[in-house]
Chains A and B, each alone.
Chain A
Amino acid sequence: AQSVTQPDIHITVSEGASLELRCNYSYGATPYLFWYVQSPGQGLQLLLKYFSGDTLVQGIKGFEAEFKRSQSSFNLRKPSVHWSDAAEYFCAVGLNYGGATNKLIFGTGTLLAVQP
């Protein structure tokens, strides 16, 4: 069955430090991969997405993610974290249904805290 695993439930980093959030997926076909962020009391905002091509994807707010097929991973990175990055981050895989990519399966999320 298709699944997405985010092994880190909570992560705390210092402001200015680098960040890597892990995501592993299980899916037989070519995956479509997404990272969403949810700030407290807010809806989900798309950070970045991978469909094909270059395996290093740039997103908003200085985030990037690298697709590694051999490791079934799509880890999110940021070189220098800002206090405003404190939020919950969700990795998701898009599944083909009826010939279109339109069904998302989410991981359980990683809650990021940023220390001053």
Chain B
Amino acid sequence: DVKVTQSSRYLVKRTGEKVFLECVQDMDHENMFWYRQDPGLGLRLIYFSYDVKMKEKGDIPEGYSVSREKKERFSLILESASTNQTSMYLCASTPTVATGRDTEAFFGQGTRLTVV
């Protein structure tokens, strides 16, 4: 079974702290993603990576950065946490396939981050 594992289910951090959210996948997928999920807004893409050391901004990258030093691990970094970053964070991975071939995204269980 494909497994995407997020290091924490629940996290409480203080305003101004540097926060690391870790995600590991065990299926040798090239692509990894970080989304945040908020009620009424669905899932919004923060950053994604299609290769080691490569990253691309998603729709809401402000206040976040990412790191991908190894293929299986994709970290989301909140440089200075703020209360408006309180949210559910979801990591996902997909393989790279030729256009038209079957693929899907596999998600982790999510990390519910509260910034106080």
Report the interface size for chain B: residues with CB under 8 A from the other chain. 31
The total of Cβ contacts below 8 Å across the A-B interface reads 74
CA distance A32 to B105 in the complex (A): 12
A103 within 8 A of B: yes
Q: A44-B90, A51-B102 are in contact. Are A90 and B43 (CB under 8 A)?
A: yes
B68-102 interface bits toward A, Cβ cutoff 8 Å, 1 = contact, 0 = none:
00000000000000000000001010111111111
Question: Does B104 contact A103, Cβ atoms closer than 8 Å?
Answer: no
In this complex, the interface size class of chain A, counting residues with CB under 8 Å from chain B, is 20 to 34
Task: Identify which of B41, B50, B90, B102 contacts A102 (C-beta below 8 A).
Answer: B50
* Residues of chain A lying within 8 A (CB to CB) of residue B40: 9, 108
What's the least CB distance linking A106 to chain B, in Å? 4
Residue in contact with B103 in the complex, picked from A101, A106, A108, CB distance below 8 Å: A101
Chain A neighbourhood of B34, CB < 8 A: none
For the complex, would chain A's binding face be called helix, strand, loop or mixed by DSSP majority? strand
Of the listed stretches A12-20, A64-72, A75-83, A91-99, name the one at the interface; the rest are far from the partner chain. Answer: A91-99
With both beta carbons as reference points, the residue of chain B lying nearest to A6 in the complex is identified as: B42
Q: Decide: B96 and A106 in contact? CB cutoff 8 A.
A: no
Determine if A60 is an interface residue (Cβ-Cβ < 8 Å). Answer: no
On chain B, the residues within 8 Å of A31 by CB distance are none
